[in-house]
Each structure stands twice: as structure tokens, then as C-alpha cells.
Amino acid sequence: MKIETISTNSYADQKPGTSGLRKKVSVFQKPHYLENFVQSIFNIATELNNGVLVLGGDGRYYNQTAIQVILKIAAANNVKHVMVGQDGILSTPAVSCLIRKYQTAGGIILSASHNPGGPTGDFGIKFNIANGGPAPTTFTDAVYEDSKTIKQYTIANAEDIDLSQQHTCHMGKMKISVIDPVADYADLMEELFDFKKIKSLFASGLLTMCFDAMHAVTGPYAKEIFENRLSANVNALINSIPKEDFGGGHPDPNLAHAKELVARLNAGLNAPMFGAASDGDGDRNMIIGQKFFVNPSDSLAIMTANAHLLPGYKQGICGVARSLPTSRAVDKVADALGIECYETPTGWKYFGNLLDDNRITLCGEESFGSGSNHIREKDGIWAVLFWLNLIAVKQHSVEEITRSHWKQYGRHYYTRHDYEAIDSNVADELIQNMRNKAESLAGTNYSDYEIVLCDDFSYTDPVDNSITSQQGIRILFKDESRIVFRLSGTGTEGATLRVYIERYVTNPEQHNLDTQAALAPLIQIADEVAEIKTRCQRETPDVIT
């Protein structure tokens, strides 16, 4: 096998964001664009030299093409063994699971998560380190630096590998195993949850579910776990065959995009009792009941309060963490349990050290992400199983479990307003303006709301003392309400402004309000303080979750 050294010109825009490098497919198709970035990963991740690599993606357009290229670059860069998912399929949580189980040097995941796919959609690439989690910023910064000056890459001149069946072969000296993408992950789930109990509830007909894989990666996982291992009701799965363009949809599990699922759960007498959906790469989850939505921040709080009831967590939990914009519902539970609750910047990579250091067992984000120390990624199917197991133990509906949680801990009304594809300069100026006036806002009043603190969130990692600053403007009010402003790090068009708004209400008589109505005064204040409408020239947000 011949190894070729190819001269290349560097690109200036290969800076990874919140979760890897994400660009339009057409950008990844530019000459040497993918090759350059992959070579930069190999230049920095020296542990891959003579090491084992896990490789797979969410099945979107360009997945298999990219896998063939990466295999050849891996062979040229002296990788010992690559474990690649059959058909190029591996969900993000499955990659994390495999890295940990087989103690590999790392993994490459091809995904742009919930962003649309297809030739005109998005593509992405992420590198996970030996603990199974997303590479830390020190690593991604180093890759970015390398990518700005890269002059050559090496690649094996070899035939494409057959990915359509499980087998083992070699490319030069490098071993390639095309593996079952599901089995190891499904086995891990079976260790954590009481499959027997859930299965018998399905068998009795007392529990019915609908899971929407949104034509993305979780289809095969859902089939094996919900159909084969748990014998769920017929028609439990929808959109469960992965498609390169996600059926033209937006594989983002929220009320706006999982329309078919929501319609089924709202279908009256024939509706399943439990509904869930996952995103492109299988790390997000949405949980719903009949005509009832569980806010992801509440889901994390409910999980924390009840984890000890489930087999995998029966020892209790040592601590929890949430990202800055996630509501403080989980803080109330942590207080009651007497455990630590860490507040981190947005992105799963910030949970890695806390998990590795045994400071936390559960963690989550408002953006439909939750997970635990079982792997180092957020995990959609895991969250669904957590809820199914909880329902089996409590024999209560999704709504009953959530309402009784609010009764005990109070309710955090919560919403996120996204302004998408706005001019980057306008977005930067809006944030800079908030930064400039942050200090002066403390002590001022907006209608009935008194601001007690306003700052730009900075995080000091308690394990390695690294500091991450400028992570979002937060305004805290005297009544525990909160507004957070930050810019997205995953978009591929202009800038996206995210505004996160929450209000804490203890009185159970006030727990039935419409979320947007309950938050209306704070939504108004957010606009007034940050001058959103005038600066962005938008009357309303593009997406409300």
C-alpha cells in the first residue's frame, strides 16, 4: 500500500464551536477541506499513533464518503486499529460507550447533530478523547492553530472498504473492524435500567409509547432496545430508518420539529401514554406525555430527585451539574439532597472533568440534553429509558410525575427565544453593549423586577482550575427570576442570539399558567435591556422552545 503526501493550502475557518467543526456540506466538499482538518486532528492527537480509533456518524449525507477518506488518512498516520460502525452508523453516545468499553485512544464522530442534512444541509466532525467525552478547548484550539498553517497531509492510496457488513480487514498494516453499532450500547443500557420491569409493564398494556427517531441515527438503536429487548407496543417507533437528508426534516427533538410525535400524543383516547424523540446524532431527547411537555431543565431536576429508585443509580448521586442557561430547577433538588450543583458553560465538554473526578453523577442542558457518568456524552435513548423505568417504578404518568415534582420543589417557568441568522456584527455589538452596562444594572428596577446581579459568566473548572470566560450575560432578579443572553456556537449561517428566560413560582395554584404568558413581563424586560428588536430588526424570535 502506497502512502502519499499531498500538498495543500490551509483554510482560515476551521475553528471548532460548541460541539466540533460544523459547516455546510458544500464547504466540506471544497478541495482538501476535510483532509486538512482530519490531518490536523492527527497532528495534535499523538495518542492515535499506534492507537485504536472509533469512527462513525449519524448517517447524514457525506457520512460514508468522509469515513472512507478518514480511514485512508488514519492508515497513513499509523493508526493501529479502527472500529467503524456498520454502514458508517454510530450515535454520539454509542461512540462514547465504545471508547470507554474498549479503552481506545479516541473517536471521530461525523455529525452536525440537529442541523438539517442533505447536499444543501450541514456536516460536522467532532473528536472525542480517551475518557469518551468531547475534546476540551485546549485540544480544539490546538487543532485550529494547526489547521491555519497546514501545508500537507498523508493519505493511503487504497481501495474503499465495504461498510455494508460486519467484518474485519486490513488497510496496509491498519486493522479495520466494521462492527455492530448497537450491541455494546444496548448492553450498557440493560445494566443501568430494570428492563424486566419495563418489559412487563409493556406486556400488561399499562404502558404504551411512541418514539420518534426523526429519520436520524437512533432508529436502529430504538429498534433493538424498545422493540427487541423491551417488546414495546406495536407502532412504538416512527421515522426509524436513518436517511441521508433526515426525510427533509430538521432532526431536532422539540415541539416545533417533532410534529408527528406531538400529534400522536395529543390524539385523545388512542394516544400512547409516553412520547419521546431524539436528534440527528442521538444525544438529545424530548420527553412528553399526553398533551404534556416536560421542559428539559425540569427533566434533569426530576431525574436528580428520583435517580436512587433506578438500579444503575441506587447508591444515590454524588453531585449534579447544569450549563449556565439551564433553569435552576435542579439546584432546588441538589439543595434538598445536600449535594453540590455545578454551573458550567454551554457544551458537554465542560462536564467531563466533573464526571471523571466523581464530583457529579448526573448532568444536563436546557437544549434537550441529559446524561450521567455511564458515558461522557449526553444520551437521548438513555434519557428515554430513565423515564420509562421511572414510570414503571412509580406507576404514574409523565404529567403526574412532573406536577408532583413542582408541588414539592416549586416550578421554574422556562423558555428560550432564538433569533437566527442575524448579522454577526449586530449580534456581537448587542452582547458587547450588555457587557459594557452589566455592572451598572445591579440595583436597578424594571417594572416589578429588581436586578441584583448582572455579569458575563466566567467558569473556573474546579478540577484543573482552567478558566473559561465570556460565556453569556446573566441577569439575576431578586425574586430568583433570571435572563441569560449568549450567541450560539453551532450555527452555520450568520449568528444566532439565544435568550433564556426563567421565573420561579412556589405556589401550586400558579403552576398551570401558559409558559409564554407566565414569562411575558420578563420577555419584555429582556427586549428592553438588550434592545433586541431594534438591533436585530426582528419583531419575534425565529424559534421558541
Q: Which residues bind Co ion (CB under 5 A)?
A: 113, 279, 281, 283-284
Contacts for 492 with CB less than 8 Å, ≥ 6 apart: 22, 23, 24, 112, 115, 122
Among ligand VG1, Co ion, none, residue 347 binds (CB under 5-8 Å by kind): ligand VG1
Q: Which is nearer to Co ion, 283 or 298 (CB)?
A: 283
Q: Exposure pattern of 34-45 as b/e (b: 16+ CB <10 Å)?
A: bbbbbbbbbbbb
The residue at minimum Cβ distance from ligand VG1 is 113
The residue at minimum Cβ distance from Co ion is 113
Q: Which is nearer to ligand VG1, 264 or 482 (CB)?
A: 482
**What CA–CA distance (Å, rounded) separates 305 from 316?**
10
CB of 281 to ligand VG1, least distance (A): 6
CB of 75 to ligand VG1, least distance (A): 28
CB of 363 to ligand VG1, least distance (A): 11
CB of 350 to ligand VG1, least distance (A): 9
How big is the chain, counted in residues?
Answer: 545
Q: Is 91 an active-site residue? A: no
Among ligand VG1, Co ion, none, residue 490 binds (CB under 5-8 Å by kind): ligand VG1
Helix (H, G, I), strand (E, B) or coil at 127: strand
The answer to whether the beta carbons of residues 474 and 458 sit under 8 Å apart is no
Binding site for ligand VG1 (CB under 6 A): 18-19, 113-114, 279, 283-284, 323, 346-348, 365, 367, 369, 488-490, 498
Q: Which is nearer to Co ion, 122 or 331 (CB)?
A: 122
**What CA–CA distance (Å, rounded) separates 522 from 478?**
13
Q: Which is nearer to ligand VG1, 150 or 294 (CB)?
A: 294
CA atoms within 13 A on the CB side of 33: 19
**What CA–CA distance (Å, rounded) separates 15 from 142?**
10
Strand-pairing partners, residue 310, are none
Q: What is the edge-to-edge ordering of all strands in the sheet holding 362-365? A: 340-344, 319-323, 362-365, 369-372
CB of 419 to ligand VG1, least distance (A): 12
Contacts for 20 with CB less than 8 Å, ≥ 6 apart: 109, 111, 124, 125, 126, 127, 134
| Backbone torsions φ then ψ of 493, nearest 5 degrees | -140, 115
Among ligand VG1, Co ion, none, residue 367 binds (CB under 5-8 Å by kind): ligand VG1
Instruction: Read off the amino acid at residue 320.
Output: V
At 447, list the grid cell: 417594572
Q: Which is nearer to Co ion, 92 or 389 (CB)?
A: 92
Instruction: Read off the amino acid at residue 332.
Output: K
Q: Which is nearer to Co ion, 6 or 543 (CB)?
A: 543
The answer to whether the beta carbons of residues 401 and 239 sit under 8 Å apart is no
Q: Which of 19, 113, 367, 370 is catalytic?
A: 113
Instruction: Read off the amino acid at residue 386.
Output: F
Q: Which is nearer to ligand VG1, 239 or 323 (CB)?
A: 323
Burial degree of 534 (CB within 10 A; 0-12, 13-18, 19+): exposed
**What CA–CA distance (Å, rounded) separates 434 from 110?**
36
Among Co ion, ligand VG1, none, residue 122 binds (CB under 5-8 Å by kind): none
Among ligand VG1, Co ion, none, residue 489 binds (CB under 5-8 Å by kind): ligand VG1
> What residues are labeled active site?
113
